[in-house]
Chain A
Amino acid sequence: MPILNENMQADLPADHVDRTGDIVSPSLTVTGWARWAWRQLTSMRTALVLLLLLALAAVPGSLIPQQSSDPNGVIQFRRDHPGWTWAAELLQLHDVFGSVWFSAIYLLLFISLVGCVIPRIRHHARALLAAPPATPRNLSRLPAYDQQHLPHRSPGDVLDAAERELRRQRYRTIRVRNDGEHSIAAERGYLRETGNLLFHIALLAVLLVLAIGSGYRFTGQRVLIEGQTFASTRIAYDSFTAGRLVTDAQIPRFALTLNRFRVTYVTDNLNALGMPRNFDAKVTAQSDGRQQKADIRVNEPMSVDGTDIYLLGNGYAPTITVRNPAGDVVFKDSIPFLPQDAKLTSLGIIKIPDGLAKQVGMIGLFYPTRATAPNGASYSSYPDLLNPVVTLDVYVGDLGLNRGIPVSVYTLDTSKLTKIAGRGTTTRGIQLVPNVPQPLPNGLGSIELTSIPRFASLDIAYDPTQIPMLIAVAAAVAGLALSLFVPRRRVWVRATRRDDGTDVEVGALSRGDDPSLQTVVEGHFTHLTTPDQETRP
């Protein structure tokens, strides 16, 4: 393929498909057809169409929730459009960027790119070694041209001066002698094509690094409550995604403690009251006996054992203590409640499988600062703990934990449970404020909100290809800039002897868009008529 090279025509081998208008092929053999197909694929026009297809194919990835970036959206989408699930599955619409059809487009594009770049490298290498093309007969036909009569100067003298100046401007020059005429042929700006090729090769490198990286990358998510420590192993993460080539031995072994999670809020701006100003997770990491304290903030990850730890979310994890009718503690745990809005109204699930007369499940809402709307509904009016309240709906029955199937701690399967308190029952739901025990319905026991620590949701990421990727991308940008901004120019200077001096003609030709070509030609005359004294012998 192509690209960013304004005159492919001049650059391409003579047999390139863009070069010949119509392909007249009476009867093609199998290799003939293969050759034809290859030329079609590597033509600029095909590359262009593939690029447009690629842009078009990416659009559904923004309209339909993607498994990789928005898994909850995918679940919601399936729930909202059950009739479309089969189509979405078939067309891989929840995984557009890994889908067969999207991959097909970019792979074809890159094959096309390789097919175009290879002959161009060969062609460019030849051009780099070749001398500038000989002086055309009629310079005045060139896009930029000027001529002057210089009295009292000999052609040799003029050409020497011109050549020195061209060399100074980093032109490659040769002297041409033809029918008694003396001239210089000069060319510069080979970096333009070099940059163009570099750009395209760097794009190939980006794809390659991406492919390699997908095998070695891993990320793990973990919710950590204040005071809690977790030891990094594959199963200790709440979710863990790893490339095919990641072994358990590569997962760094460290222990991480969340000592404290501090949030500061905006209090001095009425328009942003309660907006978080700063999140600060104070952590201690231990690995190989070394201890490392750090503050993880949103844009400030922490590095441990070659992995980076990022702060992605936070919330409250109310500590719930449950006692049986005899007053013995049967359950005490901090339950992460997932934030539902900016004021941190949060939703959480409490499961008490043992110790009470029946298995008990509760769906709870937490309001850090509970307020009551005119219609009687509770909401949170501020994200900090000014008036914390937990409300609970209570279920009894089979929690479904004994079947050996992993169950999410963030959902409650109510199919085998009976609701005994809360909306839709005759008993009011439970309301907890800190340190005031409340009875559980049906004489099951009592429940108390004993403390309200915060939790941080942390992302642990390892990607060995970040540096190679940065290098590839930097090379692409450098190549792009060179290919667009370095002018490639050819200049010819012809000197013809006259009785009282020399007639000088300068002509120039540029590849692509070159607004200052005429200025270049005029510049040479300025130089020739006022020669630099130093450089004159």
Chain B
Amino acid sequence: MTSYLESLSLLLVYSAIAIYAAAFVAYTIDLARRAAPAPAPAREPALAGAQAPPRRATYTGADAADHTEPDNPRASKAVRVGYALTVLGWVFQVGATVLRGVAADRVPWANMFEFSLTGTALIIGTFLIVSIRVHLAYLGTAVLGLVVLLLGVATVSFYVPVVPIMPALQSGWLVIHVMIAMLATAFLGLAFLVSVLFLIKRRGQAKGTPRIQRLLATVPSTEALDRLAYRMTTIGFILWTFTLIAGAIWASRAWGRFWGWDVKEVWTFVIWVLYAAYMHATATRGWRGTRAAWLSIVGFAAVIFNFAIVNVFFTGLHSYSGLK
């Protein structure tokens, strides 16, 4: 029974990857259409960004750019297909995750494969939910691309069969600590994508080809992107703080000390400090915008390093990859 559920779960994972890949294509077609020369009126008056008060530099209100998100009718069909496919893929992935948990008779995040499976489900889930309120179609290609990559690598390289949970992980804190770590990763990952887009837009606006410029004209202003990245990082940062604290409490319960500079603890600390620096950067003249965006990218690179490299190549107390 267990192995049947396990195989079924893996089948659903493969299906989800395939559907996500299709959604990725749909979103990419949308981007291509946005870049095509079109008689559509200029979506974003060039001055909108310039007129807006500098973010957080003074008392500022809601920026008009938030409400001028273009809905290019030529692009909307591809976007609708992409969104629908993403929802479908997500349903498959959630099914896969639940079946994996049922097969293992525990939470489905006790090794690297399961962490990736549940974590990417959370990224897509967050993307879908935020999409309801904020127009995020322009991010579809990046989000789906990232998830196909992460989930693909995890399935190929990190897959391990279902095994019971080792004594070190038999704790209620596994549910809390790891769940929050995954949620934090989801938010920080989305913030990372927005920051990359921010940098592309800032550069492309000045130096891009006409196609690039047309494409970039359909995404929100750099102001709005910067603010979106900030909001997502804010949530991610608080969740990461919780991860760190929950981990420390668990460590004091399991190992008799709340902090011991284990390799994983070192990197969790490094990431926390990097994002603390990001929060400061958004409030410091000369660091707002471009440099803050780079910090967001460095921060997420550290998150990925902490997960993919530290787990596999470093020896420490957090050796739970299940890989041999």
Q: What is A's interface to B at a CB cutoff of 8 Å?
A: 2-10, 18, 44-45, 47-48, 51-52, 54-55, 58-59, 61-62, 66, 68-70, 73, 96-97, 142-144, 219, 266, 269, 271-272, 275-279, 297-299, 301, 308, 310, 312, 459-461, 463, 466, 469-470, 473, 476-477, 480-481, 484, 490, 508-519
Contact = CB atoms under 8 A, between A and B. Distances in A.
A142 B283 contact: no
A19 to B, nearest CB: 10
Of the listed residues A5, A47, A48, A518, the one surrounded by the most CB atoms of chain B closer than 10 A to its CB is A48
B238 A69 contact: no
Nearest to A460: B256
B261 A66 contact: yes
A5 B56 CA distance: 9
Interface in B117-175: 160-164, 166-168, 170-171, 173
Contact of A299 (B58, B170, B310): B170
Contacts of B281: 48
A481 B235 CA distance: 9
B277 interface: yes
B56 A513 contact: yes
Given A55-B274, A69-B262, A97-B261, A7 B61 contact: no
Contact of A51 (B161, B234, B266, B273): B273
B269 A58 contact: yes
Contacts of B260: 68-69
B200 to A, nearest CB: 22
A511 B56 CA distance: 7
Contacts of A459: 255-256
A276 B166 contact: yes
Contact of A7 (B58, B241, B248, B276): B58
Contacts of B254: 298-299, 310
A196 B59 CA distance: 17
Nearest to B248: A473
B284 A275 contact: no
B139 to A, nearest CB: 18
A537 B125 CA distance: 50
Contact of A44 (B60, B234, B255, B284): B284
Contact of B162 (A8, A54, A271, A297): A271
A278 B252 contact: no
Nearest to A465: B258
B320 interface: no
B319 to A, nearest CB: 11
A62 B267 contact: yes
Nearest to A66: B261
A517 B57 contact: no
A298 B283 contact: no
Contacts of B57: 7, 9
A269 B267 CA distance: 34
Contact of A518 (B62, B160, B252): B62
B245 interface: yes
Contacts of B280: 2-4, 44, 47-48, 51
A510 B61 contact: yes
A484 B239 CA distance: 12
Nearest to A309: B256
Interface of B: 2, 53, 55-62, 66, 160-164, 166-168, 170-171, 173, 227, 230-231, 234, 237-238, 241-242, 245, 248-249, 252-258, 260-263, 266-267, 269-270, 273-274, 276-277, 279-287, 310, 314-316
A18 B284 CA distance: 8
A535 B286 CA distance: 50
Contacts of A47: 280
17 contacts: A3-B276, A6-B283, A7-B283, A52-B277, A55-B270, A55-B273, A61-B266, A68-B260, A266-B163, A278-B170, A297-B167, A298-B170, A299-B167, A308-B256, A484-B234, A510-B61, A514-B60
A519 B285 CA distance: 29
Nearest to A6: B56
A513 B55 contact: yes
A44 B57 CA distance: 14
Contact of B277 (A48, A219, A511, A513): A48
Contact of A143 (B61, B167, B170, B269): B61
Contacts of B255: 310, 312, 459
A301 B256 contact: yes
A219 B62 contact: no
Contacts of A277: 164, 167
A519 B133 CA distance: 15
Given A55-B273, A508-B61, A513-B56, 10 more contacts: A2-B283, A8-B284, A45-B287, A51-B273, A143-B62, A272-B163, A272-B164, A473-B248, A477-B241, A511-B59
B87 to A, nearest CB: 25
Contact of B287 (A48, A61, A271): A48
Contacts of B245: 473, 477
Contacts of B53: 143
B269 to A, nearest CB: 6
A271 B113 CA distance: 15
Contact of A219 (B61, B234, B257, B263): B257
B277 A51 contact: yes
A469 B58 contact: no
Given A58-B269, A142-B61, A301 B283 contact: no
A7 B310 CA distance: 37
A420 to B, nearest CB: 37
B289 to A, nearest CB: 13
B315 to A, nearest CB: 8
A47 B234 CA distance: 19
B266 to A, nearest CB: 4
A144 to B, nearest CB: 4
A278 B167 contact: yes
A5 B234 CA distance: 12
A461 B257 contact: yes
A213 to B, nearest CB: 10
B261 A266 contact: no
Contacts of A484: 234, 237-238
B263 A62 contact: yes
B135 to A, nearest CB: 14
